[in-house]
Amino acid sequence: MQASQDDPQRTVAALMAASRAFVGITARSLATMDEDVTLPQFRAMMVLATRGPQRAADISAELNVTPSTGTRMCERLVRKGFVRRTRTTSDRRVVRLRLTAGGRTLVDEVVSRRRDELAAIVGATAGHWTPAVTAALSAFAEAAGEAAEQEWWLGFAADDDVTA
């Protein structure tokens, strides 16, 4: 299916198909792990990986779920040892969530598996990947608010203004 600027419906249809493929790739990558993490929980972990320590309310807003749903999801991740609560030294009332080393390892492994599967798909469709297609995908991700992969973890692994 070829999409063009002249046919936004075809573009949206192509993006819908691609988004299903991306979710499938993520689900397969997550399913190969021995951990019991759902796709929504993994998405919460990705928010922490890309944006650094967050309040549960911030994660809820990012995932577009009610605050109580986001809080329960984060609590499950805390119990599983993938996320921990921290308080800033500047305001001890503020509780932020951050990935633990185990959470970072899980995210890294799932992202690596996704990258490998995507590389295989790109290899199988090499004739379709022009600089314009790559630029369009990059612009799409940026407009959606996704951080570039090389920006992940910058400053998030350690934060001197945090206490456990």
Q: Are 36 and 102 in contact (CB under 8 A)?
A: no
Residue 9 resides in a domain: no
pTM beyond 0.75: the answer is yes
Q: Is residue 12 part of a domain?
A: no
Confirm whether 109 is domain-assigned. Answer: yes
pLDDT > 70? residue 34: yes
Domain that holds residue 91: 36-144
Which pLDDT tens digit goes with each residue over 91-103?
778 889 999 999 9
Quick check: 158 pLDDT over 60? no
Q: How far apart are CA 108 and CA 102, in angstroms?
A: 10
Q: Domain for residue 156, yes or no?
A: no
87 within a domain of the structure (yes/no)? yes
Task: Classify residue 133: in a domain, yes or no.
Answer: yes
Per the structure, the count of domains in the chain is 1
Domain of residue 122, CATH code: 1.10.10.10
Burial status of residue 160 (CB atoms within 10 A of its CB: 0-12, 13-18, 19 or more): exposed
pLDDT at 32 over 70: yes
